[in-house]
Structures are given as C-alpha cells and as structure tokens.
Amino acid sequence: MMPLLEVRELTKHFDVSGGWSSRLIVGRRILKAVDRISFAVPEGKVFGLVGESGCGKSTAARLITRLIVATGGEVYFEGREILRLPNKAVRELRKQIQMIFQDPYASLNPRMKVVDIVGRPVSIFVGTKGQKKVDRVVELLELVGLGAEHLQRYPHEFSGGQRQRIGIARALAANPKLIIADEPVSSLDVSVQAQVLNLLKRLQRELKLSLVFISHDLNVVGYLADIVGVMYAGKMMEIAPVEDIFKTPLHPYTKALLASNPTIASFTADMPPSLKGEITLPINPPAACRLEPRCPIRVEKCKAIEPPLEQKRSNHWAACHEAHE
C-alpha cells in the first residue's frame, strides 16, 4: 500500500558563512541541517522522530509543511510530489497537512480570542461562516476537552496544557489527514503532559489521523509512536517499529540514547556508559559517519565512508557499518 507521506532524500542546507569578509577568510560554511533523509508514514500511523537539539528534526517538519524551501529531495503526499507545487496549490495542501507547535505561549496570537484563533482555519479552509463557524469551534473545543465557556477568552487566561489543547483544536479545524506535531508536550509538566498525550492518542485513533510526532524524549515517543526514526546531526540513523527500537536497537547512537534516557525502571541499575564529547553541528561535514568522533564502536572505515541507511532486518533500517543483525 502506498504510504500517506513519503520523504525521499530530503535535504536542507543553510549557508552560515556570514558576511563577505569572513567568507573570504574562512570560506563558505554550509550547515547541512537535514541531509538526505528518507522515511515513510503509512496512513493512520504515528511516526515518531527523535533526536537531540540541532539534529534537524524541526527543520524536517518545516520542510514537509513547506514553511521553508528545501535544498533537494522529494516529498510525496498521497502519491503527489509537494515540494515543487506552486504556491497556490500549497494553500490547498495546508488543508491536508497541519502543524502543532512546541511553545503554546508563542504559537497563539495573544490579541486574538479563542473563537478567532480556532475559527480562522475553519473559515479559511472549510469556508464556514457566522454562527455555523462558532458551532464548529465549540465542537472542536469539546473534542480537545475545552468548552463553549472558553470561546471569548484570550490565550493568557489559560494554563500551558490548555493552550496546547487550543493549538491542537486549531490544527484539527481544517480536517487534516496528517498532523505534524513538533515537540507538543516538551514544555509541559509531567501530569499535564500525560493529559495531552492521552488526548493526542485518542484523537489520532478516533479521527484516524496520521501523525509525525517530533520529540527529544524517547519515553514520550515510545508511548505514542508506531514507527520511530532516530536522527543525529542531520542524518537519519535508524528507523524501526517502536518495539524494535526499544528492545533490539541496532545503531550505537540509539543505544546511547536509550542508555542515557533516565527512567524509573533503571533506578537500581548502575549508570551505563554514555557517549563522550559534545554534539557538533554538521557544518561542512566530512564524508564520514556523523557520530564517528563520539562513537564507542567506531572502526577505520567510519572515517572514510559515510554509512548509508540500509535494511538490516525486516522493517528495520540503520546507518552504521558496525551494526549487524
């Protein structure tokens, strides 16, 4: 079956050379924020994208929603290539693909009432006006656990969890097929985070939504995702069904992430060895494995040849020379 969203060799380079003088002295500096990543999201499934800050996961989200222009690659939505669509058609596309943002304080206009925040996509994308629009907004608010009494309020009157609910209602307003959620719960407290996660899971099932769920928190991704992609320094390192990522990870980076992941279950165990060194931004990266300087199992080959993302098991891909079945 054709996947709902298919990303092929998606690439985004930023020129970070600065002004002409530094360009003369240092030369061109290209940040390969997203470097030829590929993955697919089947219809009705949740694809979890994990990685640490600067790994390119948010950039990937912005590329897919066409908020920024890609350097290369293709993105197929329902079989149609969308990166080269003319701007007019992009508007049509936004009906289908909606986004939930990380910071519920920054992503809602402080001068708009809830009825307008959620009502705007209703009138723009669905074309409903007047009382019908308000009815639809109430319906959406009820779907996310808010109600008609919140219609006339401003964002500052809500708590972080409630604001994120408003953000979710806004994303649902256009009846999208795919929602891209960029760290939707990372600014919330544990107890509220659980409420929002439950809500997302329920909505995803009831509305048969497909979801690209981006997070730095493996626990959260493990709860919601069906398939997990692990990114590091602009590269996709491993893709596998969620059980396999947690039980039988192949890539040393995934293993290190799991080992560094503080869980209560691990409280008696001793600290497992973690990755040494710091994350380096992929500016003019050499043709080598991006993890090589920090990798515990690196070999000579890793410095010379960049490992491609290969299928190592059924439904399990990893980009590592030393990851064997």
Does 267 contact other proteins by CB under 8 A? yes
Query: Do the strands 97-100 and 310-313 form a parallel or antiparallel pair, or are they unpaired?
Result: unpaired
92, 96, 97, 98: CA torsion to nearest 10: 100
Does 139 contact other proteins by CB under 8 A? no
Place of tokens 């999208």: 176
Q: Per-residue x/- marks for other proteins, 289-318, CB under 8 A? A: ------------------------------
Q: Which ranges in 97-172 belong to alpha helices (H)? A: 114-121, 130-143, 160-172
Among 21, 265, 314, 324, binds other proteins (CB under 8 A): 265
Among 1, 20, 21, 53, binds other proteins (CB under 8 A): 53
Q: Per-residue x/- marks for other proteins, 169-208, CB under 8 A? A: --------------------xxxxxxx-xx--xx------
Rounded Cα distance between 323 and 321, Å, is 6
Does 264 contact other proteins by CB under 8 A? yes
Does 248 contact other proteins by CB under 8 A? no
State the Rg of the chain over Cα.
Answer: 21
- SS3 assignment, position 310: strand
Does 213 contact other proteins by CB under 8 A? no
Among 223, 227, 230, 231, binds other proteins (CB under 8 A): 223
What the block records as the tokens of 280 is: 């380096």
Nearest Cα to Cα of residue 180 among 294, 94, 240, 284: 94
From 20-28, 96-104, 242-250, 303-311, give the range in contact with other proteins by CB under 8 A.
242-250
